[in-house]
Structure 1
Amino acid sequence: MARLRRRPREPEGRMTLGEHFREFRRRLFIAAGAVLVASVVAGIYYDRVFDLLTDPFYEYARSNPSVEASINFAEATSALSNLISLSIFVGVMVASPIWLYQAWAFIVPGLTRKEKRISLAFLGATIPLFLLGCGLAYAILPQSLSILYGLSPAGTSNIQGASMYFSFVTRFILVFGIGFLFPVILVGLNAIGAMPATRLIKGWRVAVVLIFVFAAVATPTADPFTMFVFAAPLTALYFGAWLVCRLLDKRKAASRPDWLDVDDTEASAL
């Protein structure tokens, strides 16, 4: 009986349509499996996750003992649905390095060597910036909640529905995390030649205004404190992205052949 031989890997990364589908399915299963395992672990430690996300709320309640503040599960199934949704949220965040890598690995065979290096650097910067944004959101959450709940008229209470509260908190954290990916996008556009550093520095005033508008619209809260805390690091990251793009442009200029800059009417060294 003839032995089945594994098809040798194509050195240039070319695959048939069927191989693409099988590769996509394999990557999808790995990513989904990582999210599932992380979600199960988050479910096991649900009490800690719950305490971590409700601590900013109860910090406000402790600092305002005269105000009645509590988190309420209004329906019989609310606790179960909240456990599932929070576990999935934490699972997606914790497993983000794995499913992002799987997405990158699926795209890599169709890229050149230079594009692979750029995309890998892009991936390497995405994860820490996303986590940094999420961490900043959690750090300022008590102050934001204090400002919002402080607008309640005298004699009223802040009995917060659990589903609404956790929906607000997770959206608040995700907005900050996604917003911190802004400089990575700028550097990526520069790497493909669509956003030179000179254009970034010329339009910095407009960019700063747009950053503040984005911060005002994107954040779930309407207070100026949250807007400024979100917009200030985004502005700093914008100029950080400009510095990186400037270095990349200098490197591109240094590797550019001299004969490309010769006038059409002149003879080049070639």
Structure 2
Amino acid sequence: MEGSAAKVELLAFGAHPDDVEIGAAGILACHGAMGISTAICDLTDGELSTNGDVATRRKEADRAAEILGLSGRYRAGFPDRGLKGSDEQLEWMVRLIRRLQPRVVLAPHWEDRHPDHTACSRMVREAVFDAAIRKKAAAQGEAPHRVEQLFFYFINNTGQADVIVDVSDVYKHKQEAILAFESQFVPGPDRRDTPLNRPTYIPMVEGRDQIWGHQIGVTYGEGLVSAQPISMSSLV
């Protein structure tokens, strides 16, 4: 799945297919239900994952995109464990941001056990910054784009959230989107044991979302962190 050249309002980056589903699928689903255009960009195909292969992961990612009602799913095709933040990689990401002109961008939290997740976090932050540089855009024959807000979602870790989004009404879509990646989360006789397909992983994710939900008085929530102060015009 790709997408048209049309703008999207909410763009979520992940290092691998399934990263965004773990941390922010509910946010994408509930915004999509409100008629807000959403998209995911996978920086790699996760080709080094213990289970599955590229073709399988792509089919699973497309299925998850359908479940979440995405306007598009984009693949950068960068090498798994090769997110170096090179000029070429950042330029590709900048061009996508300028093309889609999202108001809000999501990225993995900068603290995570997987080095690709932390690298993705850093690269998105740089690409969002570079996308707004007017002189750089003019030199490349493009229009600059300034993202209004950059938020970071959690994958393997948890932490204090600056924003918690109520995703209770669409939580079944998050569960279905995660399980669309059967090769990663469902054990089988032809699959090796990994942290993702152990019986504790999905309950950990759901438990974390329940804790965040409890903090705002709902059943399920997804937590986001902002590296910058959050602007508000009024408290009432």
TM-score by length of 2: 0.26
Query: Quick check: which one's helix share is greater?
Result: 1
Query: Quick check: which one's strand share is greater?
Result: 2
TM-score by length of 1: 0.24
Higher relative contact order (Cα pairs below 8 Å, separated by 6+ residues): 2
